[in-house]
Structure 1
């Protein structure tokens, strides 16, 4: 099989998501994350800091997409996903090496390591990374599932609050809430242009809790994989001025009701393994940990010599 790598463009996303859904249907989730993670990682994580095609690369054979690399996530990390037919092959190793080298070349020279992560069950990827000199250094995320067939309690809101879908004109307020939830530095213009106006995003799937004064108090973006019957949350946040009032719970319950009405059977959410508040919220909603992801790292200076 002859493979070539090319820059990703916005027009590729629908085909890429359909391809991912088919890979998951064929091989299971172990080597792949939800299709909703694709626009989240490509647009919200990279945030337009560089042209998207310079950091996101597609691998193709003569007729189809067989791999994806997202480079420079969080300034020093990459993701690589390969078609089931290429798992464990020299082609997958080639994709990993290329992403390692691309990320190392683009990142801040002061950063000592290139990072990546994988599911705890993905022994195939572990073996390939070790060939390139990567070592495990942490448990990164907890991966949680919930059966949407289980009862869903009704959201309980403080007086004067309401839950609704986002609107494009909410961009300024959504940027503020993200900044107060995650200590980020979005502007409304940037959130509108780099997330809301990008392919894959639908304001109907960003559920918000609006405070009586009009501020966005909490939000949850949900994604849909119809082929596999699975929904996914990414991201979920609550403005620090409104925490511990049940608002994150309320927006997630509304989103899960909508996912159930679409006929989805399962919903997933990931969180940093050290985030005890997120763990408590998701556990209270019936989510159960099914996997962990492990962080792997290799020295920047070794890139190109793996």
Structure 2
């Protein structure tokens, strides 16, 4: 069993298996929409951040995304998600020097809650438990109520409105209309959609990207944000309801999202939009104090 980067030409395989692996009633794991959102940095950067673990015959057993310099997010094929041999191989790959899966310094690993990997990292390598995250979900069997504000689908002409809301909501300057175009050109965006909500004066006040994994599979909100100058007025819940409705139109069985538990305002926003909490999850992390 070995790992590799897929290269830009191999990203379709990674996106395809992530779609196939998503199913209702299973623990949350890396979603094709996570690759879709990362695609804002371009196909080459996305390919460099993806790791594939293959078994006999070249079958992909696990997909990882180095989501920034210090977080590896993982997904597993359903029949090996709880396989201890695979978990031990990945534990060695992410822990032992020279494997190249993770950089030096503090790093986190996110994996499905029922994978043995997380317990192995803690028990045998001394990795610690990080702060809790709260997953939330809303079933989409029934129609979603109206958002209560004007919401429009983002095309090229509204890319800057989406980007401006995102920059304000998350306090950064890097997300531009050009990055939206790169994201929209990515393979996962074939099952994606971007939305912007407007106030009564026509100002963009909230934005969200949604990602379907295909009909009958859970969809994802990533990211959702409200302009800093328009918070506390219900726009977050409104755009979240619109996101759920968009995923229903795309055939998703549910809408899912995850946020740090400490972000109580975000948890309350999703609950106001009809989402329900699921059991908290925890990454494992290592730093200089628990490096083998």
**TM-score > 0.5, shorter chain as reference:** yes
Q: How many residues align?
A: 286
- Cα 1:195/1:28, change in 2 over 3 Å: same
1:9-48 per-position Cα deviation (integer Å, ceiling 9, x unaligned): 34434432332243344x95326243322323x435xx46
- Cα 1:300/1:197, change in 2 over 3 Å: farther
Q: Does 1:127 align with 2:127?
A: no
Partners of 2:156 and 2:181 within 8 A in 1: no
| Mapped partners of 2:43, 2:126: distance in 1 | 29
1:107-141 per-position Cα deviation (integer Å, ceiling 9, x unaligned): 6xxxx52212345x4252222212232121321x1
Q: 1:210 offset after TM fit, Å?
A: 3.4
Q: How do 1:261-300 and structure 2 match up within 5 A?
A: 261-300=249-288
Q: Does 1:54 align with 2:42?
A: no
Q: 1:184 offset after TM fit, Å?
A: 1.8
Partners of 1:166 and 1:204 within 8 A in 2: no
Following TM superposition, the consecutive aligned residue runs of length 4 or more in structure 1 with deviations greater than 4 angstroms are 211-215, 300-303
Q: Does 1:221 align with 2:209?
A: yes
Q: Which residue of structure 2 aligns with residue 95 of structure 1?
A: 90
CA-atom RMSD in angstroms = 3.0
1:129-179 per-position Cα deviation (integer Å, ceiling 9, x unaligned): 12232121321x10111122356322222xxxx311001233333222111
- Cα 1:236/1:95, change in 2 over 3 Å: same
- Cα 1:95/1:228, change in 2 over 3 Å: farther
- Cα 1:263/1:49, change in 2 over 3 Å: closer
Point out the more displaced range, 148-157 or 218-227.
Answer: 148-157
Partners of 2:218 and 2:252 within 8 A in 1: yes
Selected match of 1:174 from 162, 165, 170? 162
- Cα 1:24/1:186, change in 2 over 3 Å: same
- Cα 1:116/1:192, change in 2 over 3 Å: same
| Mapped partners of 1:273, 1:187: distance in 2 | 25
Q: Which residue of structure 2 aligns with residue 191 of structure 1?
A: 179
Q: Does 1:65 align with 2:86?
A: no
Partners of 2:11 and 2:47 within 8 A in 1: no
1:62-118 per-position Cα deviation (integer Å, ceiling 9, x unaligned): 2422222222x343221233333433333333234334553653x6xxxx5221234
Q: How do 1:4-19 and structure 2 match up within 5 A?
A: 4-19=2-17
Q: Which runs of 5+ in 2 are unaligned?
A: none
